Chains A and B, each alone.
Chain A
Amino acid sequence: MASAGLSLKAPRPRTERVVYWVLLVCGLMSIVTTVGIVAVLLGETVGFFQEVSFAQFFGDTQWTPLFADKHFGIWPLLTATLLTTVVAVVTALGLGLLAAVYLSEFAPERLRRVLKPLLEILAGVPTVVYGYFALTFVTPLLQKFIPGLAGFNALSPGLVMGVMILPIIASLSEDALYAVPASLREGAYALGASRLSAIFRVILPSAFSGIGAAVILGVSRAVGETMIVAIAAGQQPRLTLDPRVPIETLTAYIVQVSLGDTPTGTLEYSTIFAVGMTLFLMTLALNLVASRLRGRILKGELR
């Protein structure tokens, strides 16, 4: 340490070691985050299930923890989430897959390079902005065509959410189409297939698993999306598959309770963690399936 004049000394093992440990701690932060999420959710959920039985949670058909007559059946929130998700994914898949085919099979390279980042913008618009758009523009517009559509409903936020997840589905599907080996395409054309039949009979079927992974990731995003449904779908937990009436999704319920002044430590308060746990497990399962699928595609086991 004292021989500061010597510049040709050996590498500084102590600095190296300190740096290594500091960086390792940074790297471990992600694991700390995951452990934190699981610990917080699990801790409150266990407390919740000490007072509410699994039978109530999965057997009851009403969700009214904030009322005097309390019911803790998760199904109304689940069906609501399912409903908005289905509307969103059908929208995003319908448009997104066609867009992917256009980008991958038809668009000139120049146009493709412009269109892709433009589509990406859709995923970057803040969700509160989409919520505003769904509530004040799309719903009134749809009400002109669909009689009985309430001011809050599942259809309008579902459609808008579909536009939001469209870039995910389009861009992952396009990757899948792009990854179809040239030999398959050439084989199809060599057999005299038209472009249409090459696309429908060879390219799309070959990219099926990749498109599947894209859809699963889209579903996962739609399930966890919060602000659009909190703004435009309503706050009425209701067991229905009718997209025209107000409902409440898992995420919207968490927002509703967080905005109110439910005191911490009460049963009402722990409901949001039980709902959060449900949401976490659903998205985790979806993400794992999608990444497993994508991993196998990348390795070439599946196409």
Chain B
Amino acid sequence: MSATATAPPRVRPALTEGMGFSGERIFQAICLIATAVPLLLLLVLVVDVLNDAWPRLTWQFLTSFPSRHPELAGVLAALAGSAYLILLTAAMAIPVGVGAAIYLEEYAPPSRLTRLIELNINNLAGVPSIIYGLLGLGLFVRVLGLGRSLLAGAATMALLLLPMVILASREALRTVPHSLREAGYALGADRWQMLRRVVLPTCIPGILTGIILSLARAIGETAPLITVGALTYVAFLPDSLLSPFTVLPIQIFNWVSRPQTAFHTNAAAGIVILLVLMLILNGVAIWLRVRLQRRYL
């Protein structure tokens, strides 16, 4: 099936001309509508959330702790928790993920172990995130005795992100032209020197893009952290790796689950902040990708 890679332009005869509404035209219109409907729904979602959130989008909302009174409540603890969690997660997932990618792309012999690792990574990518939560609960919270802490949450998230980081890094490593590697060897570098001085600097923007995209996903991830035991009511900032914590999506979930509509307004405002954070991260990733293309194409 090498045809998929170098497929010739597909034959597309012109639509039957004349005749007003032909079946083809109608079908094409239906297909276009089916493509547009989900995008319109996305638009409706954003407008609906913004509309609900409007009264609560104030500076005070950003700088307050949660409260029983919806109009006094804010996302400070959740924002800080999300920031700490993402930084810790990145600190654990990036070295291991990039290391695994380098191993698989550059070192791994074509053995059964290698095939097992690759199969495994593909399967892990399909495991529901809440199962990782159960893993974190059993392993980090209980067996390793980390408790329902920031560190346990971050370790769980790191395992969840690992397949994504590995896949993205492998893709980036593969883009480095063979000639650059050979030039490195020709200058007398051994494998690790060549990787460290030639390959990694060349593909670091690509790796970063993949990592940032997976961190953007992690920031919206809720289920595994609920299972690990992030709290829903935290009126302080986390002060150590072992301190209890909450994150933005869990704060939102907590507000949505309450019957009073005033809390739903808070949830909507929290969602706006969450979406803005994700937009910023995605923007950075796109900016990096554009820069990368300018450098090598």
Q: Which A residues lie at the B interface, using CB under 8 A?
A: 11-12, 15-16, 19-20, 22-31, 33-34, 36-37, 40-41, 43-44, 94-96, 98-99, 101-103, 105-107, 115, 118-119, 121-122, 124-133, 135-137, 163, 166, 175, 178-179, 181-182, 185-186, 189, 194-196, 199, 217, 220, 223-227, 230-231, 251, 254-255, 258-259, 264, 272-273, 276, 279-280, 283-284, 287-288, 291, 297-300
Contacts and interface: CB of A to CB of B under 8 A. Distances in A.
A185 B256 contact: no
A227 B253 contact: yes
Given A105-B31, A129-B274, 15 more contacts: A19-B192, A26-B98, A26-B100, A30-B121, A37-B135, A41-B134, A95-B35, A105-B12, A124-B278, A129-B49, A182-B8, A189-B13, A227-B253, A255-B223, A276-B130
Contact of B268 (A25, A124, A132, A298): A132
B286 to A, nearest CB: 10
Contact of B252 (A12, A132, A279): A132
Given A179-B3, A196-B23, A166 B134 contact: no
Interface string B252-283: 11001100000010011001001100100010
A16 B191 contact: yes
Contact of B226 (A175, A179, A259): A259
B88 interface: no
24 contacts: A16-B191, A23-B107, A29-B96, A30-B163, A30-B166, A34-B124, A36-B159, A95-B34, A128-B249, A128-B256, A129-B271, A163-B41, A178-B7, A179-B1, A195-B13, A220-B126, A223-B128, A231-B256, A251-B223, A258-B133, A279-B131, A280-B128, A283-B128, A287-B126
A22 to B, nearest CB: 7
Contacts of B95: 26
B45 A125 contact: yes
Interface stretch (B62-70, B202-210, B213-221, B236-244): B213-221
B297 interface: no
Interface residues of B, number: 93
Contacts of A99: 31, 34-35, 38
Interface string B18-42: 0000011001101110110111011
A255 B223 CA distance: 7
Nearest to B138: A40
Task: List the 6 closest A-B pairs by CB distance, nearest first.
Answer: A224-B128, A126-B220, A26-B99, A40-B138, A98-B34, A102-B31
Contacts of A185: 10-11
Nearest to A181: B3
A44 B117 CA distance: 26
A162 to B, nearest CB: 9
A231 B253 contact: yes
Nearest to A22: B99
A131 B256 contact: yes
A28 B107 CA distance: 13
Contacts of B186: none
A19 B142 CA distance: 32
B17 interface: no
Contacts, number: 268
A126 B3 contact: no
Nearest to B219: A126
B287 interface: no
Nearest to B286: A117
B35 A115 contact: yes
Nearest to B2: A300
Contact of A23 (B3, B30, B99): B99
Given A23-B99, A99-B34, A129-B271, A272 B134 contact: yes
A259 B162 contact: no
B48 interface: yes
Interface of B: 1, 3-4, 7-8, 10-13, 15-16, 23-24, 27-28, 30-32, 34-35, 37-39, 41-42, 44-45, 48-49, 52, 95-100, 102-104, 107-108, 116-117, 120-124, 126-135, 137-139, 142, 159, 162-163, 166, 190-192, 216-217, 219-223, 226-227, 229, 232, 249, 252-253, 256-257, 264, 267-268, 271, 274-275, 278, 282
A279 B128 CA distance: 8
Nearest to A15: B192
Contacts of B30: 98
Given A24-B103, A26-B100, A129-B49, A194 B123 contact: no
Given A224-B129, A283-B128, A132 B223 contact: no
Contacts of B124: 30, 33-34
Given A99-B34, A126-B274, A182 B10 contact: yes
A196 B27 contact: yes
A189 B13 CA distance: 8
B126 to A, nearest CB: 4
Contacts of A225: 128
Contact of A40 (B135, B191, B216, B253): B135
B226 to A, nearest CB: 5
A44 B141 CA distance: 14
Nearest to B188: A8
Contacts of B39: 115, 118-119, 122
Contacts of A137: 44-45, 48
A106 B128 contact: no
Contact of A224 (B120, B131, B162): B131
